[in-house]
Amino acid sequence: MHQKLSNMLLSWMITFGWLIYGSITVEPALGANKNPNCDRKLFHGTMYDSREAVVCGTRLHVGAGLSCCGDQPFNPATATCCKTEHEANVTQDLSEKVSTCCGLTAFNALNEICCDSTVAVKNATTAECCGKAAYDKDKQLCCRPDSDPVILEKTSPHHRCCRHKLYDFTTQCCHWKNDTHVEVKPKPPKGCDGNSGATAVKTTHGTCGQKTYNTHTEMCCGSLVIPKMSAKERCCGEGAYNYATECCCWPDHGPPERKPKTSPCCAVTSVVPHLTPEPPPSCSEPNTHVCGSSCYNPNERRCCERKETKPHWCCASGQCDAAPTVYNPHTHVCCDGCISELKPGMDQCCGDTPYGSAQRGLLCCHNVLYKDREDGEECSDAGIPYNPAKGTMCYSQFHASPGQHCCGAEVYRPLEEICCGGHRYPKRENLQCCGVKAYNITDPNMKCCKGTLYDLTHLGNHGHDAKCCGSVLQNPQKQEVCCSSKDEAVLYPKKTGFGCCGHLYFNSFLWSCCAGVLRPGHKQQSGMNECRLLSVNNLKDTELCREIYIGTVESVSLNSILFRNVLKLDGRNGTVQPVPFHHILMTPNRCTTTKLIVGKFYFFHDVNVFADFNHDTVIQSLHFFFSKCSL
Ligand SMILES: *[C@@H]1O[C@H](CO)[C@@H](O)[C@H](O)[C@H]1NC(C)=O
Ligand SMILES: *[C@@H]1O[C@H](CO)[C@@H](O)[C@H](O)[C@H]1NC(C)=O
Ligand SMILES: *[C@@H]1O[C@H](CO)[C@@H](O)[C@H](O)[C@H]1NC(C)=O
Ligand SMILES: *[C@@H]1O[C@H](CO)[C@@H](O)[C@H](O)[C@H]1NC(C)=O
Ligand SMILES: *[C@@H]1O[C@H](CO)[C@@H](O)[C@H](O)[C@H]1NC(C)=O
């Protein structure tokens, strides 16, 4: 029967293993009380886990980590979704972690620039737009940027545009004959004529966000270009105000407003310099308002900028409600901003309700007071009262058999099953979790990349060379580069002249990299300094399962790394030996060494340091190492 399943159905069943085996449940997220219903979704009568599939438009798409771009599925780890008001478009091979949108096309702002909705290759780190093209301000000139832009090579700092010609304003004059013709002539001793010279053609454009604007006639406020009405104007939010007659007022909520100088708020704000160094944020998320220099949602918290507090017997909620209220503690009790009459025995607050801990039948779970509860009831992790002697509570689901273990919202039998991210699987030898799936850790055809499981069978012989790049599987047949830092790992299509600097992929013509930091400017010496943080997950068994160290970074100096709590591991015979004192790893080329986090643990050997992106704790890492190597 199993032999007859089509490949598609088989992969469906593998993906939805829990559908066959158990019900949909979710991993108790570390620390947090995550509601298992968050990831559980229903699509036309089929349950799916939103970590393993997505519904875009009217279709269900199976795959880990997918999101929707309009009605298209895409993986933000390898692609970017750019949206306009009416359209959405996916750009493949560029992760959202490192991309910017230019209209409907995504680009890498490190090496490219968006000019007039067109992606242009940067010629310099400080490149600016000239029409749809990029130019290097230091070496080139953009002539007639507003009407008919042309980029010309600057031959000296004295060169200026004369329509689409260049002239040296110290020795030459630019004559405008008519709308289409100009002439460059030697400068006579008395200087250039009125209709010629630099003033008519001086570059008067600046950049405002991704737009260019005329600095003489327009202003850039917020990221908006607005017409300049007078020389006495300054920005106020995304508008302008006349500083001779008005001031820019910052209300408690919302964006700043222009007000006549006579208005009361001008007296207050005049203490604050008008040229506020930090513009107020534009709170673009729906339902958000400005609070000082940040945005907030009034439904979630309050803006406490102007809160006045009184020292005694004030009843104010932790959220800093309107005005705190004064009360008498002999007759009343204050619970989370609410004043209630004091009754005998009241000694506790449950949210905003007072109660007495000696009262029978009361149970306070997650700030909600439950009445008429039986003796012996407790709060479950999800904050629901239940009696442990009568059953097991898995999240908010009650199972009428006491003393069970939970896997998501279900009970499970650890002797017969393994629980991966809230999904149960029958126990087998060498079975380990990878995200919400279970796999045979000795199976060379399976690879776990940061919680996403990949079947390498379709790669054939190349499967053994497949590596992880964060949660993405790098296809060894494709020309791809994985750039990784302590925070991210990003896959890029390979390009000549480009290198990794942490998780960024830079054009070495524009940038140089040292110890994970990019600096403008081409490195002159031969060779390009690249640096990336290697992953222990990408070591072949033969490299991994030999003598290797694990330790905590204590300090990093110019040319060495100091490790403490070092253990020497040997995967061949499964031995662990503590290394007395410190271990110093020399790093002769500081520039090729990535940033390590002091206090975090890493694997290392004589030359390289490896991070374990798959596991968060040392015990998980060690368990992986010995499981993998002892086989
Ligand atoms: C969608 O993105 C691709 C890749 O970046 C680009 O080539 C294409 O022009 C975009 N489509 C539209 C309609 O802009
Ligand atoms: C700028 O890029 C263009 C191609 O886009 C190239 O022809 C030109 O040589 C570059 N200029 C500099 C200064 O590198
Ligand atoms: C501008 O001047 C040039 C040369 O003097 C002439 O050939 C051309 O016709 C003129 N164009 C216009 C629009 O007057
Ligand atoms: C795990 O994989 C190894 C190697 O492919 C295989 O020999 C073994 O039978 C598998 N174990 C189980 C329980 O499937
Ligand atoms: C483990 O094996 C390696 C090589 O086979 C050997 O050098 C090392 O001494 C062994 N360690 C112990 C504690 O036996």
- Residue 523: per-residue pLDDT: 64
Return d(Cα 368, Cα 385) in angstroms, integer: 10
Give percent of the chain above pLDDT 90. Answer: 39
Q: Which residue's alpha carbon is nearest to atom 4 within ligand 1? A: 91
Closest ligand to the CA of 122: 2
Split at pLDDT 50, 70, 90, the class of 299 is low
What Å distances lie between residue 500 and 423, 478, 505, 510, CA to CA?
37, 17, 5, 13
Of the ranges 153-157, 163-167, 302-306, 464-468, which one carries the lowest mean pLDDT score?
Answer: 302-306
Q: Is 311 helix (H, G, I), strand (E, B) or coil?
A: coil
Whether the pLDDT of residue 624 is over 80: the answer is yes
Residue 408 CA to its chain's centroid (Å): 27
Q: Is the Cβ atom of 112 under 6 angstroms away from ligand 2?
A: no
Of the ranges 247-256, 361-370, 575-584, which one carries the lowest mean pLDDT score?
Answer: 247-256
Top-ranked range on mean pLDDT: pick from 36-45, 128-137, 263-272? 128-137
The atom of ligand 4 lying closest to the CA of 445 is 5
Question: Are 601 and 622 in contact, with CB atoms under 8 Å apart?
Answer: no
Q: Could you tell me which residue, 285 or 568, shows the higher pLDDT?
A: 568
Q: Residues with beta carbon inside 6 Å of ligand 1? A: 89, 91, 104-106
Split at pLDDT 50, 70, 90, the class of 584 is very high
Q: Is the Cβ atom of 180 under 6 angstroms away from ligand 3?
A: yes
Residue 157 has which token pair?
A: 């700092």
Q: How many residues does the chain have?
A: 631
Return d(Cα 495, Cα 441) in angstroms, integer: 34
DSSP-assigned states of every residue in 365-421: ETTEEE-SPPTT-EE-TTS-EE-TTT-EEETTEEESSTT-EEETTEEE-TTTEEEET
> What is the CA(51)–ligand 4 centre distance, in A?
27
Split at pLDDT 50, 70, 90, the class of 3 is very low
Closest ligand to the CA of 547: 5
Q: Could you tell me which residue, 396 or 27, shows the higher pLDDT?
A: 396
Question: Are 36 and 18 in contact, with CB atoms under 8 Å apart?
Answer: no
Whether the pLDDT of residue 313 is over 80: the answer is no
Question: Are 505 and 108 in contact, with CB atoms under 8 Å apart?
Answer: yes
- Residue 44: per-residue pLDDT: 87
Residue 479 CA to its chain's centroid (Å): 26
What Å distances lie between residue 189 and 170, 172, 186, 456, CA to CA?
11, 11, 9, 79
- pLDDT tens per residue, range 94-132: 999 999 999 999 999 999 999 989 999 998 988 999 999
E strands within 456-523? 467-469, 472-474, 480-484, 489-493, 498-501, 504-507, 511-514, 517-520
Question: Which residues on adjacent β-strands are paired with residue 404?
Answer: none
Closest ligand to the CA of 546: 5
Those residues with Cβ within 8 angstroms of residue 405's Cβ, 6 or more apart along the chain or in another chain: 392, 411, 412, 413, 414, 419
Closest ligand to the CA of 545: 5
Of the ranges 176-185, 289-298, 418-427, which one carries the lowest mean pLDDT score?
Answer: 289-298
Residue from 177, 182, 185, 195 to probe ligand 3 pocket by mutation (most atoms less than 8 Å from CB): 177
Q: Is 11 helix (H, G, I), strand (E, B) or coil?
A: helix
- Residue 314: per-residue pLDDT: 57
Whether the pLDDT of residue 166 is over 60: the answer is yes
The atom of ligand 1 lying closest to the CA of 106 is 5
- Residue 112: per-residue pLDDT: 95
- pLDDT tens per residue, range 188-219: 887 776 544 443 444 466 767 667 777 777 78
- Residue 253: per-residue pLDDT: 63
Residue 290 sits at φ, ψ, to 5 deg, of: -85, 135
Whether the pLDDT of residue 298 is over 90: the answer is no
Return d(Cα 340, Cα 415) in angstroms, integer: 52
Residue 140 CA to its chain's centroid (Å): 36
Split at pLDDT 50, 70, 90, the class of 224 is confident
- Residue 194: per-residue pLDDT: 53
Q: Which helix (H) or strand (E) holds 79?
A: strand 79-83
DSSP 267: H
The atom of ligand 2 lying closest to the CA of 135 is 1
Question: Are 338 and 348 in contact, with CB atoms under 8 Å apart?
Answer: no
- Residue 628: per-residue pLDDT: 86
The atom of ligand 5 lying closest to the CA of 547 is 3
Q: Is the dihedral of CA 411, 414, 417, 419 positive or negative?
A: positive
Q: Could you tell me which residue, 220 or 343, shows the higher pLDDT?
A: 343
C-alpha gyration radius of the chain: 33
Residue 411 has which token pair?
A: 């009970």
Return d(Cα 147, Cα 208) in angstroms, integer: 18
- Residue 71: per-residue pLDDT: 93
- Residue 17: per-residue pLDDT: 34
Q: Is the Cβ atom of 123 under 6 angstroms away from ligand 2?
A: yes
Of the ranges 280-289, 335-344, 587-596, 615-624, which one carries the lowest mean pLDDT score?
Answer: 280-289
- Residue 481: per-residue pLDDT: 94
What Å distances lie between residue 112 and 34, 108, 334, CA to CA?
40, 6, 59
Give percent of the chain above pLDDT 70. Answer: 81
- pLDDT tens per residue, range 499-545: 999 999 999 999 999 888 898 887 656 567 788 899 999 998 888 99
Whether the pLDDT of residue 293 is over 60: the answer is no
As a whole number, the mean pLDDT across the chain is 80
The CA-based diameter of the chain, rounded to the nearest angstrom, is: 105
Split at pLDDT 50, 70, 90, the class of 8 is very low
pTM for the whole structure: 0.69
Which residue is associated with the tokens 């304003």? 169
Q: Could you tell me which residue, 438 or 295, shows the higher pLDDT?
A: 438
DSSP 20: H
- pLDDT tens per residue, range 229-243: 777 777 777 788 887
Burial pattern 304-331, b for ≥16 Cβ within 10 A else e, equals eeeeeeeeeeebbeeebbeebbebeeee
Split at pLDDT 50, 70, 90, the class of 444 is confident
Return d(Cα 304, Cα 298) in angstroms, integer: 11
Residue 310 has which token pair?
A: 């009184």
Q: Is the dihedral of CA 430, 434, 435, 438 positive or negative?
A: negative
